[in-house]
Amino acid sequence: MAPNSLSHPPFSPARLLCILLLLSPINQVCAGHDYHDALRKCIMFFEGQRSGKLPSDQRIKWRRDSALRDGDSAGVDLTGGYYDAGDNIKFGFPMAFTTTLLSWSVIEFGRTMGTEQKNAVRAVKWATDYLLKATAVPGTMFVQVGDAFSDHNCWERPEDMDTLRTVYKIDRDHPGSDVAGETAAALAAASIVFRSRNPSYSRVLLDRAIEVFEFADTHRGAYSGSLSQAVCPFYCDVNGYQDELLWAAVWLHKASRKREYREYIVRNEVVLRAGDTINEFGWDNKHAGINVLISKEVLMGKADYFNNFKLNADGFICSLLPGTAHPQVQYSPGGLIFKAGGSNMQHVTSLSFLLLAYSNYLSHANKVVPCGDTAANPAVLKQLAKRQVDYILGDNPLGMSYMVGYGPRFPRRIHHRGSSLPSVKAHPARLGCKQGSKYFLTQNPNPNLLVGAVVGGPNVSDAFPDSRPYFQESEPTTYINAPLVGLLSFFTAHP
C-alpha cells in the first residue's frame, strides 16, 4: 500500500520529536538506562526457557533438565528447544519466529552487542539445533511437543512434568506452510549468523532451509487446518500462510543470493499479498517485516524491482507515527504502543525493532519516509523506538521496569510455572499436577527470578496488576524478548 493512501495530518519532523518528548515523563527520561545490563538479562532469559538437558555453563541455576523423552512416542529425538512462555509446551510456530528475530538481531546489531554477542549466538543455536531435529525426516515436520490442554490443566515445574507429551506433525497430506515457512526463514537467517563463525553448520542450516521451503511451497495449507485441536486457540494461524512463504523466500534470497528466490518474490508479490495488513508484525503476521527487510536492497540502490515493497514499508512506518489517525495503532497516555489483543509487549518490541532497522537503512541511504504532506527522518524513527524501550525499562507512569531483574521495581508475580514454584533445589520432592495450584494463587512473590523476562505489560491506560492469573499482562514469551535483543544492542552503543 502506498503511503499516500493513508490519512496523515500535516506535521513536521520537529513536531514529531515534540510529540515523542511529550510522551516521555521528563524526570525519568533524563535518568538514562544501563542498556548493556538490560541486554545481558534479556538474553539470559532464554536460558530460563530451555527444554532438554542443560549445559554445565547454564546461568539460570534454579532450572534443571526437563522433557528428556520428548519425541519418544514418535520414534524421534525432539529434546531441546524452548518453552514458548510460562507453560511447558514446545510450540514450533512461535519458536521458529523467535529464532528468526534472534538471528536478525545478531545480523543487524551484533557488532554493538560487545561481550553479549556470544550469548546471543548461543541462544540462536539452542533453537536451531532443535529445529534441525524437527525437520530431519524429509516431507515431515514436527511442529509441537506437548498437549496444551493437558498442560494448562496443571501448574507444574517442567522438571516434574507428567502431562501428555504428544507429538504433532505436518506432512504432504497435512500441510503447514505457515509453520514450515517460518522454520525455513529461521534456518536461513541463522545460516547467516553462523556463516563466518561455523561455516559447516551454516551450510547445514541453509541446505535444510531450502528443503523445508520447498516442502512448504509445494504442499500449501495452514497447519491449523489439520491440527486445530492441538494448536488453537494458542497459536492458531489467523492470518494465512501466504506471508510465511514470502518471508521464507526473502530470507533465502538474503542467505543464498540465488536468483530463483528473487524471482519467486517478484512473481508472488501480489499472489501472496505482500501489501496486506502492513502495520502488523509478529509470530502470525510477517507482512511488515517482509517489506522492511526487502527495502534495504531498494534503499541501497540495488533492487528497483522490489520498489513496491519499499512503498509498503513507508506506509507501515507512517501508520506508527504518533499523531496519525490509524485505527489499529494506539498510544497509552504514558506513550506505549498499544494494539488490541493479549500480550501487548510482543507488538511493542517487534514493531520497534522494525522502526529501528528501517531507520538504519534510511540513514545509510540518506533518505526519509514520505508521510502525506511531510516526511519522517531516521532520527524520528530511532527516537520512537527508544521511547518504547525506555518505557519497558521503567520510564512509565508506574515507574516500573517490565523486565524481571532490571531496576528497583519490576513484576514479582509473573505467570510462569518454573518461576512461581519452588526450585528442585529448594523442594527436591516432586510437585504433582494440582500441588502447584496454591503457589499459583498465592499473593507471595515468585521464589525464582526469571532474569530478563519481559511480561505482556500494562493495559492501554498504563495500569498493570502484577498478578499471575492476569496472564495477558503477566506472562513472558520468547517472542517478546527476541526483537528486544536487537534494540538493546543498538542502544548500548547509541544511548
pLDDT tens track for 260-297: 999 999 999 888 887 776 778 999 999 999 999 999 99
pLDDT value at residue 325: 61
What Cα–Cα distance (Å) separates residue 494 from each residue in 36, 58, 362, 491?
11, 30, 17, 5
- What is the DSSP code (8-state) at residue 170? E
Active site residue 253: no
Active site residue 37: no
- Across the range 136-152, mean pLDDT stands at 95
pLDDT value at residue 31: 56
Grid cell at residue 319 = 501508520
Contact call for residues 353 and 483 (beta carbons, < 8 A):
yes
Give the number of other Cβ atoms within 10 Å of residue 72's Cβ.
13
Active site residue 152: no
Indicate which residue of 147, 159, 284, 475 is catalytic: 475
Grid cell at residue 241 = 500462510
- pLDDT exceeding 70 applies to what percent of the chain? 93
Instruction: Say how far apart CA 21 and CA 25 lie, in whole Å.
Output: 8
pLDDT value at residue 198: 98
pLDDT band for 16, please (50, 70, 90 cuts).
very low
Indicate which residue of 178, 280, 314, 466 is catalytic: 466
Element (H, E) at 360: helix 345-365
pLDDT band for 140, please (50, 70, 90 cuts).
very high
pLDDT value at residue 271: 83
pLDDT of residue 360 exceeding 60, the answer is yes
Indicate which residue of 33, 36, 253, 415 is catalytic: 415
- Across the range 201-205, mean pLDDT stands at 98
pLDDT band for 341, please (50, 70, 90 cuts).
confident
Phi, psi torsion values for 331, nearest 5 degrees: -125, 135
pLDDT value at residue 6: 30
pLDDT value at residue 401: 98
pLDDT value at residue 158: 97
Please report the domains of the chain, with CATH numbers, ordered by start residue. 35-56+65-493 (1.50.10.10)
pLDDT value at residue 28: 41
Residue that wins the pLDDT comparison between 3 and 491 = 491
DSSP 423-480: PTTT--S---TTTTHHHHH--SPPSS--TT-BBS---TTS-----TT-HHHH-B-HHH
pLDDT tens per residue, range 444-463: 999 999 999 999 999 999 99
pLDDT tens per residue, range 206-252: 999 999 999 999 999 999 998 999 999 999 998 899 999 999 999 99
Nearest to 430 by CA among 165, 156, 164, 163: 156
Handedness of CA 155, 483, 370, 22 (dihedral sign): positive
- Across the range 153-162, mean pLDDT stands at 96
- Across the range 178-206, mean pLDDT stands at 98
- Across the range 411-422, mean pLDDT stands at 98
- pLDDT exceeding 90 applies to what percent of the chain? 86
pLDDT of residue 345 exceeding 90, the answer is yes
pLDDT of residue 427 exceeding 70, the answer is yes
- Across the range 473-486, mean pLDDT stands at 98
pLDDT band for 302, please (50, 70, 90 cuts).
confident
